[in-house]
Amino acid sequence: MNLFEYVRPASVDEAVAAASEPGSAYLGAGTNLLDLMKGGVSTPDRLVDLTHLPDLDRIETLPDGSTRIGALVRNAALPRDADFARRFPAVAEALLSGASAQLRNAATLAGNLMQRTRCAYFYDTASACNKRMPGAGCDAVGGENRAHAVLGWSDHCIAVHPSDLCVALTALGAIVEIAGTAGRRDVPIADFYRLPGETPEKETALAAGEMVVAVRLPADAAAFAANQRYLKVRERTSYAFALASAAAALTIADGRIVEARVALGGVAPVPWRAVAAEAALAGAAPERAAFERAAEAAFAEARPSGDNAYKIELGRRVVARVLAMAAAGTPERLPALPASPFAEPAGVAAHV
Amino acid sequence: MNLSLTVNGEPRQIVLDDPRVTLLDLLRERMHLTGSKKGCDRGQCGACTVLVDGRRVNSCLTLAVSLDGASVTTIEGLADGDRLHPVQQAFIDHDGFQCGFCTPGQIMSAVGLILEGEAGDDPERVREAMSGNICRCGAYKGITEAVIDAAAKIASDKQRDAA
Amino acid sequence: MSSVVPMPAAQRRFGSNSGQPMTRRDGVLKVTGAATYAADNHPDGMLYAVTADATIARGRVVGLNVAAAKAHPGVVEVLTPANRPALAMDPDAKPHMFAFRTEVLQDETVRYAGQPIALVVAETLEAASEGARLLAPRYEAETPRLGFDGVESFEPEAVGVGSPPTTVKGDVEAGLAGAARTVEARFETPPQYHNAMEPHAIVAAWDGDRLTLDTPNQALVMSTAAFGAWFGVPAENVTIRSPFLGGGFGSKAIIFGAQVLTILAAKMLDRPVKYVLRRDQMFGPVGHRGATRQDFRIGLDDAGRLTALEHVTTSSTSSFENFLEPASNASHNLYATPALAARHSGVRWDVGTPGPMRAPGEASGSAALESAIDEAAFAAGLDPLEFRLRNYAEEDPASGKPFSAKALRECYAEGARRFGWADRPLAPRQMTDGAGRLVGWGMGTALFHAPMFQAKARAVLKADGTAVVETAGVDMGQGAWTALAQLAADGVGLDIDAVEFRSGHSGLPDGGIAGGSGHTATAGGALHAAGRDAIARLTELAVADERSPLFGAGNVGVEARDGRLHRADDPSRSESYGEILARAGLDAIEGTGQGARDPASAGDYAMFSHGAVFAEVKVDPELGQIRVSRLVGAFAAGRIVNPRLASSQLYGGMVWGLGFALEEEAVHDRRSGRIMNADLAGYHVPVNADVAEMDVILVDEVDPHVNPLGIKGVGEIGITGTVGAIANAVFHATGIRVRRFPILPADLLGAAGAA
């Protein structure tokens, strides 16, 4: 790890001022940043420690009915907040399916949004990576890319976004609140993340020095509480990144889907809102045929970026399944193995 | 850099000459509290688990300097003199370890889990909640049994104390 | 040794200690964080060393920015091939078969990714780490050699540690030609890495020409000579302290270059130096399980009996060493066949040298063999257990010798009963759980050698009625400090609480090597024998002393128990050890013992532990995710010294089997040769949630030949059988036979919709 200057600002304004200096990085819990610094992947000259800032660790309901989560709210705090977990169960389930209890106790909301891809070629400083060193090339192309993207990738980057939380937030149309030297602004999460295109190093809409101060779930997001789930296929039962995951949220009335929200994880460089799938579901009966049509639509544009064609079929099945699970209703208590295909107890159909 | 930390109940003033020091390296290399182990140094194994302000975290991914004002409990601070904490005793009783290297982290994680109060006596919830602590010897069966046993013991001790 | 206590080995009476399910004697130390592992040591003035490692797999280092590293605050020294002082040993020599060629900065050549190419020493760990990064090496890289296809293979002189590469009994071609049906199958297993939770570590301190090392080591006394040889000092000048190993699994038996460099740095700088591997550095210089490709040809008669079994393994090794996974040897000893051929060849990859990893050969070989046997049973239309019983070997197929003991039939029966195997439908895809998941049941036979090595021990009976019993043994988690103490206490006829057991230090009598599942038998045998020797000497004093109630009892014999000697013909006549010693004017009396196999029985019998593992898996039919919902293992391993700890060892082995079957694989980038998942996030080992219900049954077995105590090992057998059982259960659940390990969700996506 390189030597760096450690700065502990007393306010958001001080923080963004300090971080506007080139070579600065924000420090939340550090669960991803320290990992990157230990590997020499990230070598900031200055760490601006946000963890002592006041007022950023609250979960609150605003007058307009939206729910505001402060940047420093720990990942574990959301599922542990009974009111929050009741209104946004897929967010809670997604969070609990990610990382470990220790990491969730430390990692912050903003840190989760800002975490970097787990692409091994990004982490391996001896490999070419356009994210790490723009213009260097992408060794994941033609490399070990079984886990890489099938949607939204470019020839410059085929990495996937690792977050589970952000998939659920994307499905629910979260708004990211940003602070910078020029003041505050809101960005819908779908616009917050950028596809790699020719500039995979530009991952978010944040300008230099800007920081995430909160995420809001709009008032209408709570309408999906009765029918929302998160499902994540992994190569071990827990403590693994997704091969493919999906969040689904439905409103159902009179035997018809009124509105559907679907977002995908583990298959794209960003948390991927499956708009075509949502459109395919609107007005349909909540039945397998509709779920399969939606799954087809979700991956209509998918193509393998390497040795990962299987993820397209797997992704479709994840979408169809999570829709069936959401249609079956949010469980009263999150399952023992959150988001796992093994979550449902015997007797509850895992597939319809 | 000056740092106030409470470690195992004892207030400590720490002067850090290097901002890079993690909580784990501070404990092990500078305070010689070597019970917390470094298994991966990347938050992938849980051997370094300690409680910070009552929550279980990976000390290897925590920058010490950012913890100014925090309270840290390590495996060394768990027993009451010669009297083992119920989780420690349960790990012995259920043979919840073999080589012992991951054990301090397992135990601190289990203590944190029991404080969280969300797993109860459901082995599946315990397994899931303890999955951030890798045991290469494969002592998971004993670990799960120990956590459930200790949680019950702690609950009944609490009830008795309240009565 | 005296023959005053004559008892035939098979009927030897035991004291009250062994056989008891005692909890670990080191339990309190381990649960309080007080157990000291190598990296926990911190002598005054200690420096930290960190290696810089090659990021190419083949080629040369042509530049290192030593100036940048040295300029970093706190960096004290940088060792490179340019300034490395001379060593007393040639790193490319091979003085004995446990010495592996290694890298000690002898030149700029790079022969695998992760090879140490410089050592940075600094006042702090942070400075040493950054100094290593700042070296920013430059290379001339060549294309690395990896994979089985398009790589030239070679015929080895030996496989594993000194095993013959080829075994042929009978005529395989004739057996196949005459078969009613034949089964051919190819299996592949990937490179796997031990990944003990404790990364390898060493703290080296010199005092003149005397060297003290804190380092985890599976062969303490042998290693003193090996370390000393690098520095031209005799073995007796080297002390190794290794009271606790944080797991070994075979990777801590062999000295590797960075240990030598650390000791060298300590000598150069005249300060103690600590070197601890990072997790990513565990993927290269400290051994691994080589990859295998295994081809089977199996012939069956009409009744489902083998007419031929051929098992041909190609396994990977490094470019500069020859260790080859002896996987085909798994077919030597399990199934009766008139014709058996087991062969091996090797391929050279640009990787670190593989070595023994928990059940070397047997794990990979059993994974493939048990899968192939399942395929054969299916081809024969027979239940897999019935098939195995029809092919039960009454004598060792490879050697023709009788087994010293073999309770495998009982393992099959008890395991099957506990599991409920009788209800298994023959065809795959017949079972689902209530949630629509596919359910499959599979089984595998477990087998592992019951070797003995050489060990020595000393027992001292003291006048206060206690004893000190010692050997330089090794506890890497198997529970040696408890099981060996139990045997030691029985040897001296005392309750275990009256025995001080000393171990884990090279200054003690040579406890031999902890590996091959032979440590308890070997070191335990030595300890027990040392105790018996001390008792014999004490008995000589007593029976010759007319003031003793035991006077003249030499012919009828005496028995030692609870700190007293009793006449065998009249147990009421007894005397305490202390009284005997006091009258003789002695503070203590010492005995010595050895553990080694009786050469006669070694030649006459085939000696193995056996077992049967039954697995239930659930597979999501659409998503392919797999979970092992139940594992039952029944094992017969002679006398069980401590059932609690033996069960734990077996559980651990079965968890390794689960990891082998479904998770573990080091993935190389074929272009660079680097391992792209060299961490515990990418290299999956089982986590707690992977392990649902598990059951171990310890099947009674008396083995009168294996050694005087009748002890076999349990450290490795658990992984054998389990891998195949899980793979076979996956087939039974899905109808899909995956012949490449690990079996992953992507392999099972075809299970959806199939009838």
Q: Are residues B138 and B91 in the same domain?
A: yes
Cβ proximity of C466 and C499 under 8 Å: yes
pLDDT for residue A45: 98
Give alpha helix (H) positions in chain A. 12-19, 33-38, 77-80, 82-87, 89-96, 101-106, 109-114, 120-123, 165-171, 189-192, 275-281, 288-298, 310-328
- Domain boundary (B55, B77, B99) is at B77
Residue of A nearest to C433 (CA): A346
Residue labelled with tokens 């004291």: C15
Q: Is the pLDDT of residue C451 over 80?
A: yes
Residue C600: per-residue pLDDT? 82
Nearest chain A Cα distance for residue C170, angstroms: 43
Q: Does A337 touch chain B (CB under 8 A)?
A: yes
Residue B68 lies in a domain: yes
Question: For residue B163, is it within any domain?
Answer: no
Phi, psi of C207 (to 5 degrees): -135, 95
* Phi/psi of residue C44, nearest 5 degrees: -55, 140
Q: Cα–Cα distance between C275 and B139 in angstroms, integer?
A: 28
pLDDT at C11 over 50: no
Does the structure show a pLDDT above 90 at C556? no
pLDDT of residue C480: 96
Q: Do B31 and B97 lie in a common domain?
A: no
- A320: which chain C residues are within 8 Å (Cβ-Cβ)? 622
Q: State the CB neighbour count (10 A cutoff) for residue A272.
A: 29
Cα–Cα distance measured from residue C134 to residue A74, given in angstroms and rounded to the nearest whole number: 35
* Nearest chain C alpha carbon to B97: C477
Q: Classify strands C167-169 and C181-189 as parallel, antiparallel or unpaired.
A: unpaired
Give the end of a domain, one of B34, B50, B77: B77
CA angle A319, A321, A324 (to 5 degrees): 110
C13: left (phi over 0), alpha (psi -120 to 50) or beta: beta
CA–CA gap between residue C121 and residue A111 (Å, rounded): 34
- Residue A91 in 3-state DSSP? helix
- Please report the domains of chain C, with CATH numbers, ordered by start residue: 9-35+453-596 (3.30.365.10), 38-142+199-244+252-282 (3.90.1170.50), 292-451+603-751 (3.30.365.10)
Divide the 163 residues of chain B into consecutive groups of 10 and give the mean pLDDT of each group.
96 97 98 98 98 98 97 98 97 98 98 94 97 98 98 94 85
Which of these CATH numbers, 3.40.30.10, 3.40.640.10, 3.30.70.2340, 3.30.43.10, describes A5-52?
A: 3.30.43.10
**C546: Cβ contacts below 8 Å, ≥ 6 apart:** none
Say if CB C194 and CB C288 are below 8 A apart. Answer: yes
- Spatial contact of C644 and C667, defined as CB atoms under 8 Å apart: no
CA–CA dist B141, C651 (Å, integer): 8
pLDDT band at C15 (very low <50, low <70, confident <90, very high): low
Question: Could you tell me if A101 lies within 8 Å of chain B, comparing CB atoms?
Answer: yes
Which pLDDT belongs to residue C8? Answer: 32
Disruptive mutation site among B50, B130, B135, B137 for chain C (greatest number of C CBs within 10 Å) = B137
CA–CA gap between residue B154 and residue B148 (Å, rounded): 10
Going from the C-alpha of C316 to that of each of C55, C217, C282, C674, the distances in angstroms are 20, 25, 18, 16
The distance of A330 to chain B (nearest Cα, Å) reads 18
Tokens of C178: 């005459």
- Is the pTM higher than 0.80? The answer reads yes
Domain CATH code at residue B17: 3.10.20.30
* Interface contact flag, C437 A350, Cβ < 8 Å: yes
Q: Let me know if C126 is a catalytic residue.
A: no
Both structure tokens of C597 = 């196999």
Å between B159 CA and nearest CA of chain C: 25
Rounded mean pLDDT, C184-199: 98
Q: Give CA–CA dist A305/A295, Å, rounded.
A: 19
Look up the domain containing B64 and give its range: 2-77
Residues in chain B with CB shorter than 8 Å from the CB of A4 are 19-20
Same domain, B56 and B73: yes
Angle at B128 between CA A347 and CA B120, to 5 degrees: 80
Helix axes C480-491, C519-543, angle to 10 degrees: 20
For residue C420, give every residue at least 6 positions away whose Cβ sits within 8 Å of its Cβ, in sequence order, or none. none
Token pair belonging to C73 = 């605050």
The CA–CA distances, whole Å, from C430 to C426, C436, C735 equal 9, 12, 10
Q: What is the mean pLDDT of chain C?
A: 95
Of A102, A106, A336, the CB nearest to B125: A336
Residue C141 has pLDDT above 60, yes or no: yes
Radius of gyration (C-alpha) of chain B in whole angstroms? 16
d(CA C75, CA A92): 47
Instruction: Between C98 and C116, name the one with better pLDDT.
Output: C116
Q: CB contact, 8 Å: B150 with chain C? A: no
Give this complex's ipTM. 0.99
Query: What's the average model confidence in pLDDT over A279-302?
Result: 98
Query: If DSSP codes are grouped into helix, strand and coil, which group holds residue B111?
Result: helix
The torsion of the CA quartet C650, C654, C660, C662, rounded to 10 degrees, works out to: -170
Please give the Cα distance from C341 to C328 (Å, whole number). 9
pLDDT above 70 covers a percentage of chain A that reads 98
Residues B73 and B92 grouped into a single domain: no
Domain-embedded: residue B32: yes
Nearest CA to CA, how far is B151 from chain A (Å)? Answer: 17
Q: Please check whether residues B103 and B146 belong to one and the same domain.
A: yes
Which residues of chain A make contact with B20, given a CB cutoff of 8 A? 1, 3-4
Are the C-beta atoms of residues C248 and C234 closer than 8 Å to each other? Answer: no
Reported as a single tens digit per residue, the pLDDT across C325-361 is 999 999 999 999 999 999 999 999 999 999 999 999 9
Question: What is the rounded CA–CA span in Å between residue C259 and residue C263?
Answer: 6
pLDDT bin (cut points 50, 70, 90) of residue C132 is very high
- Say whether C622 and A347 touch across the interface (CB within 8 A): no
- Indicate the domain borders of chain A: 5-52, 226-328
Query: If you average pLDDT over residues C482-500, what whole number do you get?
Result: 96
Q: What CATH number does residue B94 fall under? A: 1.10.150.120
Burial class (CB in 10 A: 0-12, 13-18, 19+), C586: middle
Distances (CA, A) of B16 to A6, B25, C43, C298: 12, 12, 21, 67
Question: Are A243 and C745 a contacting pair at CB < 8 A?
Answer: yes
Taking residues A184-208, report their average pLDDT: 98
Distances (CA, A) of C704 to A189, C9, C265, C404: 72, 7, 51, 7
Residues 6+ apart with CB under 8 A from B69: B4, B5
**What strand order describes the sheet that includes A59-61?**
A59-61, A67-70, A211-217, A175-180, A183-188
The pLDDT tens digits for A91-111 are 999 999 999 999 999 999 999
CB contacts, 8 Å: B132 with chain C: 687
Residue C599: per-residue pLDDT? 85
Residue B134 lies in a domain: yes
Res. C4: pLDDT tops 60: no
Last residue of a domain, one of B77, B110, B138: B77
Q: Are B35 and B96 in the same domain?
A: no
As for how many domains chain B has, the answer is 2
Rounded Cα distance, C666 and C291, in Å: 10
A203 neighbors A131 (Cβ within 8 angstroms)? yes
The candidate with the shortest Cα–Cα distance to A314, out of A325, A304, A326, is: A304
- Looking at C704-753, list the stretches that DSSP marks H as alpha helix, in order from N- to C-terminal side: 722-734
Above 90 in pLDDT, residue C9?
no
The answer to whether the Cβ–Cβ distance between C655 and B138 falls below 8 Å is yes
Q: Are residues B8 and B73 in the same domain?
A: yes
> In this predicted structure, which of A98-107, A127-136, C10-19 has the lowest mean pLDDT?
C10-19
Catalytic residue, chosen from C103, C665, C701, C716, is: C716
Say if residue B43 is in the same domain as residue B93: no
Tell me, what amino acid is at C40?
A: D
Measured between beta carbons, the chain A residues lying within 8 angstroms of C668 are 144
What percentage of chain A carries pLDDT values higher than 90? 97
Per-residue confidence (pLDDT) for residue C3, from 0 to 100: 28
Q: Residue C13: pLDDT band by 50, 70, 90 thresholds? A: very low
Kindly give, in sequence order, each residue whose CB lies less than 8 Å from that of residue A333, ignoring residues fewer than 6 positions away. Answer: none
Residue type, A56: L
Q: How far is C11 from chain B (nearest CA, A)?
A: 31
| Separation CA C183–CA C375 (nearest Å) | 7
pLDDT for A350 equals: 60
pLDDT for A50 beyond 60:
yes
Rounded to 5°, the CA angle C399-C404-C407 comes to 110
**What are the start-end ranges of the H helices in chain B?**
23-25, 86-93, 103-116, 123-129, 140-162
Q: Which residues of B touch A239 (CB under 8 A)?
A: 131-132
Q: What's residue A348's pLDDT?
A: 67
Residue of B nearest to A44 (CA): B20
The answer to whether domain A226-328 has CATH 2.30.40.10 is: no
